[in-house]
Amino acid sequence: MIEVHDLSKRYGDKTAVDHLTFTVQPGRITGFLGPNGAGKSTTMRLILGLDRPHSGTATIDGVPYSDLREPLRKVGALLEARAVHTGRSAYNHLWCLAQSQGLPKSRVDEALALVGLTEVARKRAGGFSLGMGQRLGIAAALLGDPQVLILDEPVNGLDPEGVLWIRNLMKSLAAAGKTIFVSSHLMSEMAQTADHLVVIGRGQLIADESVDAFIARSSERSVLVRTPQPAQLAKELEREAVPGNGADPQAPVTVTPAADGSLVVRGMEAAEIGEKAAAARVVLHELTPQRASLEEAFMELTRGSVEYHVEMDQHRDPVPPPVQDVPVVPAVQPVSESEADE
C-alpha cells in the first residue's frame, strides 16, 4: 500500500504538488490521471525518494522509500525519463541493479525473458528503440519481484502488441495482490485497465474514486432522442422544464439539436422524456441514455486546472479555401491538451 499524506513540492515559486493526500490499495490497478504538468511525475518521484518534499510524507507499507533496505525487492518503478546508461548493455544494467539487492544472476535472465529482451541482452542500451528502452525499464522494475509497482506512462512508445502486453501484465500482477500505481495521460488506456482513479490537476487532488464513480460524477450525462417532430418535442420538453424538475435538481433541462436532426437532452432522464413525448403524442424513433466516456469525464473535471489550454473549437474551424496558384501550406493541427508535451 502506498500512502501519500499532505505532500507538497515547489520548484521556485511554482507549486508542482499541492498538499496531496491519497492511498493506493493493493490488489487493484490505480490509475493516476491528470493533464500534463499536473504533477504526476513529481508525485511519483517524491514517493520514490528521488525528490525531497517541502511538506508531507509518502510511505510504502508505512516506510519511507529511502528507509527500505532492499527497495527493489519491495517496489518496482518505471520512470518517465530513461534511467539507463546508454553505454551499458541491458544485461549489465540489470546485473548491477541485482547486485545491489543481493539478487542472483538467474533473476536477471528471468527479467530479460519476461520482457522479451533476451536476444539483445548484450547490446548497448543506447541503441535501443523507444519500445525496447521501455521494456528494459520494465525489466528493471520487475527485477526484484516487488509487491508494489509504480509506473509512469508505461505504454509510451510501445507498439499495440506491447500496450496489450503491459495491460495484461498489470492485470495479472494486480490479481496476484500487488499494488499497481500507474500514470497515464491516455484516458482510454485507463478505462481499459484501471479499477480505481486518483485524478489531479495543478498538483491538487480532483478525484480519488472508482472508475465508475468518476464517470458518474461528471455532469455530462445526456439522452439522445430521434423523432420526426423535433421542434414539437423540444418545445414540449422545454415548456415542462422548470428548474428543479429534471434528474439533477441543480441543472436546468437543455435541448440541443444535433446536426443529423436528432436532439441531445440534458438534465432529464430517458423515462421522463418518453412519458412527456407520449403525453404530447410525439413519435419517438430512438431514446438512448448516453454516459460520458472517461475521456469526457476527465476533461469536464479537470477543466480550469489545465496548465496550457488549447482552444478545442479550433478543430472545427473550416479551413479557408486555398487561393488559386498559391501553394497551400498545411494548417498546423492544434495539439489537444492530452497530447501536449509537458
Partner 1 sequence: MTATSPEPTAAGSGRSGAAFPRLLAMEWTKFRSVRSTMWSLLAFVVLALGLAALITALTVNGWDKMDPDQKAAWLRDPTGNILGSSFFLGQLAICVLGAMVITSEYSTGMIRASLLAVPKRIPMLAAKALVFAAVTFVVTEAVSFGAFAIAAPILHDKIPVSLSDKGVLRALIGAGLYLTMLGLFAMTIGALIRHTAGSITGVIGFVLVLAPLAQLLPGSVGKHIHAYLPTEAGHLVAQSAPGKNDLLSAWQGFGVFALWTVVLLIVAGWTLKRRDA
* Interface residues toward partner 1, by CB under 8 A: 45, 48-52, 61, 63, 65-75, 77, 79, 81-89, 92-93, 95-97, 99-102, 104, 107, 110, 114, 140, 142, 144-147, 169, 172-173, 176
Q: How far is the CB of 85 from partner 1 (least distance, A)?
A: 4
* Residue with Cβ nearer partner 1 (142 or 182): 142
Q: What is the dihedral of CA 96, 98, 104, 109, to 10 degrees?
A: -80
* Residue with Cβ nearer partner 1 (93 or 135): 93
* Residue with Cβ nearer partner 1 (96 or 213): 96
Q: How far is the CB of 92 from partner 1 (least distance, A)?
A: 4
* Residue with Cβ nearer partner 1 (131 or 274): 131
Pairing of strands 222-226, 263-266: antiparallel
Q: How far is the CB of 319 from partner 1 (least distance, A)?
A: 42
Rg (CA), the chain: 25
DSSP, collapsed to helix, strand or coil, labels residue 148 as strand
* Residue with Cβ nearer partner 1 (108 or 241): 108
- The span from the CA of 130 to the CA of 157, in Å, is 5
Q: How far is the CB of 58 from partner 1 (least distance, A)?
A: 12
Q: How far is the CB of 50 from partner 1 (least distance, A)?
A: 4
- In 318-331, which positions are buried (b, 16+ CB within 10 angstroms) versus exposed (e)? eeeeeeeeeeeeee
CA nearest 40: which of 296, 295, 302, 336?
Answer: 302
Q: How far is the CB of 211 from partner 1 (least distance, A)?
A: 24
Contact 90, 120 (CB under 8 A): yes
- The span from the CA of 332 to the CA of 35, in Å, is 22
* Residue with Cβ nearer partner 1 (145 or 300): 145
